[in-house]
Chains A and B, each alone.
Chain A
Amino acid sequence: MKRVISVLGLVLAVAWSGQADAQTLKTVRDRGALLCGVSQGLPGFSNPDDKGNWTGLDVDFCRAVAAAIFNDPSKVKFTPLSAKDRFEPLKSSEIDILSRNTTWTSSRDALFNFVGVTYYDGQGFMVRKGLKVNSALELNGASVCTQTGTTTELNLADYFRANNMKYEVVAFGTADETVKAYETGRCDVFTTDVSQLYAEKLKLTNPSDHVILPEVISKEPLGPLVRHGDDQWFDLVKWVLFAMLNAEELGVSSKTLDAAMKTKQPEIRRLLGLEGSHGEQFGLTRDWVVRIVRHVGNYGEIFERNVGASSKLGISRGLNRLWTKGGIQYAPPIR
């Protein structure tokens, strides 16, 4: 009898534990590490090397958040997720941030919170040079390989329907299978976001045999997401991105940081926490931007390092330039 009652009591306790909400920052601090959901291996965005170290634009963003919280960019645990299964772990609190080159759309925003855009992208097509195709409008009747569970399938259908072209779609579960099928010639065209096309092209046996067509057929603003229901966490992560953009705008990089600490310019002083207590409003320390820039860098640095001129992908800034340089990256001021 006593055993029955104690078992019942245990069961009741477990059932009434409920779910944690508005407590993410506290949970992360107590845990001592940030849980970050990334892709299964996309060069330039999130890719493990053969020793298991993760690099990439999305990876550096999570490291920036960890640097702001812990003053240590290595306090992050990365979980690789496929396109099909990336949202459920965020919904069920198995990860704190999903930083996995995910497009900001209305239907997704209704379920989660997008913290901003780390990369303005669009969908494009890659074909073999041997097909002598110069434009996506010449693809009538082609077979197209794509990854299932993404906005790619929908954009593809819309584009071909709008231009009265017929096509055959072959949809696979993972990016690797899609690329393999394209390489063996199962389809003529491989379609996904242009940044992923550049990354996957590197993995092909003969990258120079393939060409990326000039058409960009959709808006794909890629950015990290967090759960609904925790405003403090949402603001914190959002402002880590804005801090990195503001740092680049004000000319503060990891190389010029020490010199910038001695500046008299009020904007830079506010940014670096020498005046005001802006970091503390998010639950961080005053030197939160110093931590970010010192350990990871500003937005320009992480762009160049991972996908830009000094990386293997060699993508130009394009739309991702700051608004002062002709692009559309624009962050609200810290004051």
Chain B
Amino acid sequence: MTKVAFYNSPKVRSAIYQLAVVATIIWFGVEFAINAKANLDAQGVRFGFRFLDDPAGFGISQSLIAYSEQDTYRRVFYVGLLNTLLVSVLGIVFATILGFAIGLARLSPNWLLARLAGGYVELVRNLPLLFQILFWYLAVLIALPGPRQSIGLGVQPFLLAAADGFSWLERYGVPAAIAQSWRGLADWVGPPAIYLNNRGLIMPRALFGEGSGLVAAMLALAVVLTIGLRFWARRRQDATGRQFPIFLTALALVVGLPAAAFLVAGTPVSFEAPVLRGFNFVGGTRVLPEFTALLLALSTYTAAFIAEVVRAGVLAVPKGQTEAAMALGLRRGKVLRLIVVPQALRVIIPPLTNQYLNLIKNSSLAVAVGYPDLVAVFAGTTLNQTHQAIEIIAITMAVYLLISLATSLAMNIYNARTRLTER
């Protein structure tokens, strides 16, 4: 072995260069921290998280937990986080359902269906999302009337119309009692309990009284029984080939058990109907138009991308599989459900995870329509009032990172289960 000076050895040189790069990066980090601290001190801004205990002082239009203006900024953070999670989870669910439907529709042998699906994908994919959010918001708002002219959704208007019809028929000898009985029925049904206007969809609120815990317990029991039933039915089918009507049984359990508990406990759940008083409806719960517009825009936008991912996955399955399934006599729907899509899932899941993460991050555009998500109330209003920019942005970025990592983790676990197991 030739003796070489240590500074000419490739290994030593490589080590020195790598150490130098690491040292430079660490030094940059330290310089940044020192510089930031000096600037903040010069401007009199305290670095710290004590601002989280200060009272917020502003209202939030939608909150899944109790919130009032005197609550702290920490509570504002939780409210914003829950709002973001709500719109993200529902958006993912709807986008997946819609995306799968459109993706499979684009592959349909029906010419019109395929072209319509293709047109939808091309249109929605190529328009900016912010533009689509504003479009849905204005379309929803402009189409709906104000609170005093709300659209009431219920049976009573139809019953009253029927009663009016029978009253008009009285001149032809129809007895007046018929119209009266219809009116009596309308009275018993009562005014509509669901209203639609440009402040939102207003529904009765459930008030849980004594004994409603039993109903909830029965519901949980029904869910557990359904899961157990599914495993048992699967094993029975594998062993003997006999199928079991799982869906109907599950439906009966989930509806029947809580209903029985409801009656036994003496109807503990009552409903508080909304009433128009002054400017708005009082009582009941409300689905905000901001939430609806954001959800619609996110779902339709991401669905277009998911449709293409699904289409790619289905096309990746060898054609021989479809031909073999058809040769066995399966119809197209069953072929898709039992043979093609399970194999296509291997190709679909990684890009699908991408689309889910995109949807979660795109939900931060909520501030454009006044939906109080995490970025709008925390990284927007709170930052503007407390000026603690570094802490707030760091917290917000950490939260989005955690949500995205959790989603990727869940999808990767599912991916591992659907992978081809090589022998």
Residues of chain A having any CB pair with chain B under 8 Å: 8, 11, 15, 19, 21, 83-84, 87-88, 91, 107, 110-111, 131, 139-143, 145, 148-150, 153-154, 156-158, 161, 167-173, 177, 180-181, 184-186, 188, 228-229
A189 to B: closest C-beta gap in Å: 9
Binds A, one of B161-169, B262-270, B369-377, B404-412: B369-377
Contacts of B60 in A (CB 8 A): 169
- Contact with B44, one of A148, A156, A228 (Cβ below 8 angstroms): A228
- Complex: how many Å from CA A173 to CA B137? 14
Task: Say if the beta carbon of B198 comes within 8 Å of chain A.
Answer: yes
**Contact in complex: A173, B69 (CB < 8 Å):** no
A260 to B: closest C-beta gap in Å: 42
Task: Say if the beta carbon of B325 comes within 8 Å of chain A.
Answer: no
Task: Say if the beta carbon of B171 comes within 8 Å of chain A.
Answer: no
Complex interface bits, B275-298 against A, C-beta within 8 A gives 1, otherwise 0: 001111010000001100000000
Known interface pairs A161-B69, A181-B370, A228-B42; A186-B57 also in contact (CB < 8 Å) = no
What 5 pairs across the A-B complex have the smallest Cβ distances? A149-B384, A153-B58, A169-B59, A157-B69, A142-B279
Contacts of A8 in B (CB 8 A): 24
**Contact in complex: A87, B387 (CB < 8 Å):** yes
Known interface pairs A19-B39, A111-B44; A186-B289 also in contact (CB < 8 Å) = yes
- Complex: how many Å from CA A19 to CA B31? 13
Q: List 18 A-B contacts (CB under 8 A).
A: A8-B24, A15-B28, A21-B42, A87-B387, A107-B387, A110-B44, A141-B282, A143-B199, A150-B384, A156-B58, A157-B69, A169-B59, A171-B58, A171-B372, A181-B141, A185-B198, A186-B141, A229-B43
Q: Chain A residue with minimal CB distance to B141?
A: A184
Contacts of A169 in B (CB 8 A): 58-61
Contacts of B289 in A (CB 8 A): 186
Contacts of B44 in A (CB 8 A): 110-111, 228
Contacts of B124 in A (CB 8 A): none
Contacts of B152 in A (CB 8 A): none
B164 to A: closest C-beta gap in Å: 30
**Contact in complex: B380, A173 (CB < 8 Å):** yes
**Contact in complex: A177, B368 (CB < 8 Å):** yes
Contacts of A88 in B (CB 8 A): 389
- Complex: how many Å from CA A88 to CA B45? 13
Interface hub of B31, B59, B69, B376 (most chain A Cβ within 10 A): B59
Interface hub of A83, A142, A184 (most chain B Cβ within 10 A): A184
A128 to B: closest C-beta gap in Å: 10
Task: Say if the beta carbon of B127 comes within 8 Å of chain A.
Answer: no
Contacts of B198 in A (CB 8 A): 184-186
Contacts of B138 in A (CB 8 A): 180, 184
| Chain B interface category by residue count | 35 or more
**Contact in complex: A177, B369 (CB < 8 Å):** yes
Say whether chain A's binding surface is mostly helix, strand, loop, or mixed.
mixed
Contacts of A181 in B (CB 8 A): 141, 370
Contacts of B59 in A (CB 8 A): 153, 156-157, 167-169
**Contact in complex: B43, A91 (CB < 8 Å):** yes
Residues of chain B having any CB pair with chain A under 8 Å: 24, 28, 31, 39, 42-45, 57-61, 69, 138, 141-142, 146, 198-199, 277-280, 282, 289-290, 367-370, 372, 376, 380-381, 384-385, 387, 389
**Contact in complex: A188, B39 (CB < 8 Å):** no
Contacts of A148 in B (CB 8 A): 367, 376, 380-381, 384
Contacts of A180 in B (CB 8 A): 138
**Contact in complex: A153, B370 (CB < 8 Å):** no
Known interface pairs A149-B381, A177-B370; A171-B69 also in contact (CB < 8 Å) = no
B196 to A: closest C-beta gap in Å: 14
**Contact in complex: A154, B385 (CB < 8 Å):** yes
A180 to B: closest C-beta gap in Å: 7
**Contact in complex: A149, B380 (CB < 8 Å):** yes
**Contact in complex: A154, B58 (CB < 8 Å):** yes
Contacts of B45 in A (CB 8 A): 111
**Contact in complex: A107, B385 (CB < 8 Å):** yes
Contacts of A21 in B (CB 8 A): 42
Contacts of B370 in A (CB 8 A): 145, 170-172, 177, 181
Q: Chain B residue with minimal CB distance to A87?
A: B387
**Contact in complex: A143, B372 (CB < 8 Å):** no
- Complex: how many Å from CA A48 to CA B94? 43
- Complex: how many Å from CA A107 to CA B51? 13
Contacts of A84 in B (CB 8 A): 380, 384
Contacts of A156 in B (CB 8 A): 58-59
Contacts of A111 in B (CB 8 A): 43-45, 387
- Contact with A170, one of B43, B277, B279, B290 (Cβ below 8 angstroms): B290
Contacts of B42 in A (CB 8 A): 21, 228-229
Contacts of A141 in B (CB 8 A): 277-280, 282
**Contact in complex: B57, A173 (CB < 8 Å):** no
- Complex: how many Å from CA A149 to CA B380? 6
B82 to A: closest C-beta gap in Å: 17
Contacts of A83 in B (CB 8 A): 384
Q: Chain B residue with minimal CB distance to A177?
A: B368
- Complex: how many Å from CA A184 to CA B198? 9
Contacts of B61 in A (CB 8 A): 168-171
Given A168-B199, A228-B43, 14 other A-B contacts at CB below 8 A?
A107-B385, A107-B387, A149-B384, A157-B57, A158-B57, A168-B59, A168-B280, A171-B370, A171-B372, A172-B370, A173-B367, A177-B370, A185-B146, A228-B42
- Complex: how many Å from CA A186 to CA B28? 50
Q: Chain A residue with minimal CB distance to B288?
A: A170
**Contact in complex: B146, A139 (CB < 8 Å):** no
**Contact in complex: A140, B278 (CB < 8 Å):** yes
**Contact in complex: B279, A172 (CB < 8 Å):** no
- Complex: how many Å from CA A242 to CA B90? 57
Contacts of B380 in A (CB 8 A): 84, 148-149, 173
Contacts of B372 in A (CB 8 A): 171
B66 to A: closest C-beta gap in Å: 15
Known interface pairs A107-B385, A186-B141; A157-B280 also in contact (CB < 8 Å) = no
A237 to B: closest C-beta gap in Å: 18
